[in-house]
Amino acid sequence: MSLQRPTLPKGTRDFGPEQMARRNFILSTIRDIFELYGYQPLETPSMENLSVLMGKYGEEGDQLLFKILNSGDFLKNVNKDDLKLGSKKTLSKVSEKGLRYDLTVPFARYVAMHQHEMELPFKRYQMQPVWRADRPQKGRYREFLQCDADVVGSDAPLNDAEIIAMLCEIFHRLGIGDISIKLNHRNILTSLAAITGNPELESAFCIALDKKDKIGKEKVKEELLQAGFESSGIQTVFPILEITGENDDRLKKLKSHFSNHNLDDSGIQNIESILSIVEKIGDLSIVDVDFSLARGLSYYTGAIFEVTLNDRSIGSLSGGGRYDNLTGVFGVSDVPGVGISLGVDRIYDVMINRDLFDQVTLEVTKVLVVTFDSQSFHHAFPLLGTFRKNGIACELYPEPTKLKKQLNYANKKNIPYVVLIGSEEMTSGNLTLKSMASGEQQQLSIEKIIELLRKK
């Protein structure tokens, strides 16, 4: 074997103990909330058949899927003509599997395969990595962790309201208070597109609106013009998109616009139902009804959510919505659902920037047994078993060595206590417990030490 300089693939990262402690804090916070609302865990394989993945995320998504080379002689079906046809047309001859691109399509596939054994409504959460062959850049990785919660089998607004309540509570517990949960509805977007006079261009309307935060209002207007909207239509719709006031007022004003144009206001009614429940089970103050919210994905059919920082210093931290036919492509219709996806890596980056991890300690080991020579080293062995039997994580430096080296190990590893075994301790049977933070020392029996450490 030749010597290799070890490297990592672009856009991927290792997570050492410190990062793991922080990531686990985020994950357990999210998991606790999902479970408080009755969501149950689910995991799907990292690989899916390409037939399941392709065509679900648009043409760009197809490009960004990581594909897995068929095992064995992968070129066996490729001939000269294929080389001329090019990679795109030859793909199916060399690859039939891809890595998960999100958690929504695999969940829809799961629901389609297990519909008969599921108790509906079915609430599941899923916390797994996804992979996208995007160009890596700050805050964008090729492997990143998503946390999704979805409920399928019910179109009742309580589900949508609970999704919002969960988002409130998750960000509250993570200490990220200055967020807005933006809320809109697919039917509202449909009616707004109708107000422009070009209802048939709804899709282009949503795609352009979705870019508002990135490119600004004026550029969106230009894009709408290019997409075929009339200037007059754009001028009519923008003031409506930007209606101000409290959420209630905005909805009331929008309702009167829709009434003037004789348009469907079922989306407004649905939002009102959802908000009236959020008022009782969550926190309405961070909900921001925003008629210009238009998430790119075309499968949403009802409410649409997005969580953004109020200072807009980073893209959305979470997004989701209601979809009433996601399993349709797998031959199973009439399974309405609603869900959200939280981006753990972005949340991590925000929390690092804001120093929000001070409550997360790296502490794994509670106590290091410190010895002075070979005799006290051997004396320490039974202590290890005693501590561990009592649920106290402990370590012994693996060989007799200098005191300084042992204390240094405790320090570097954030071990809060050491127990010293010197000749006096071996004679008396008592041990010296020392707090690494305060330096305070006490002579105590092992039973007292266990009692004390268990309380900490």
Footprint of its own copies on 184-223 (CB under 8 A):
none
Q: In whole angstroms, how close is the CB of 284 to its own copies at the nearest point?
A: 12
- Footprint (CB under 8 A) of its own copies, residues 303-342: 329-331
Of the residues 43, 249, 424, 451, which one makes contact with its own copies according to CB under 8 A: 43
Of the residues 29, 104, 159, 341, which one makes contact with its own copies according to CB under 8 A: 159
Q: Which residues contact 434 (CB under 8 A, 6 or more apart)?
A: 417, 418, 419, 420, 440, 441
Nearer to its own copies, 68 or 403 (CB): 68
Contact 193, 267 (CB under 8 A): no
First-residue to last-residue Cα distance in the chain: 50
- Asked whether position 282 contacts its own copies by CB under 8 A, the answer is yes
Q: In whole angstroms, how close is the CB of 163 to its own copies at the nearest point?
A: 12
- Asked whether position 66 contacts its own copies by CB under 8 A, the answer is yes
- Footprint (CB under 8 A) of its own copies, residues 95-124: 95, 97, 99, 109-110, 112-114, 119, 121, 123-124
Q: Which of 91, 87, 43, 44 is nearest to 69 (CA)?
A: 91
Q: Is the dihedral of CA 385, 390, 391, 396 positive or negative?
A: negative
- In one-letter notation, the amino acid at residue 446 is I
- Footprint (CB under 8 A) of its own copies, residues 352-391: 362, 364-365, 381-382, 384-385, 388, 391
Of 12-20, 194-202, 232-240, 266-274, the window that binds its own copies (rule: CB under 8 A) is 12-20
Of 260-268, 314-322, 394-402, 422-430, the window that binds its own copies (rule: CB under 8 A) is 394-402
Of the residues 41, 58, 216, 228, which one makes contact with its own copies according to CB under 8 A: 41
Total residues contacting its own copies by CB under 8 A comes to 109
Of the residues 25, 57, 101, 131, which one makes contact with its own copies according to CB under 8 A: 131
Which DSSP category does 198 fall into?
-
Of 8-16, 243-251, 263-271, 339-347, the window that binds its own copies (rule: CB under 8 A) is 8-16
Q: Starting from the edge strand earliest in sequence, which strands make up the sheet with 441-444, in order?
A: 394-396, 367-371, 417-421, 431-435, 441-444
Q: Which residues contact 375 (CB under 8 A, 6 or more apart)?
A: 426
Contact 317, 346 (CB under 8 A): yes
Nearer to its own copies, 217 or 388 (CB): 388
User: Rounded to an integer, what is the distance from CA 380 to the centroid of its chain?
Assistant: 44
Contact 287, 273 (CB under 8 A): no
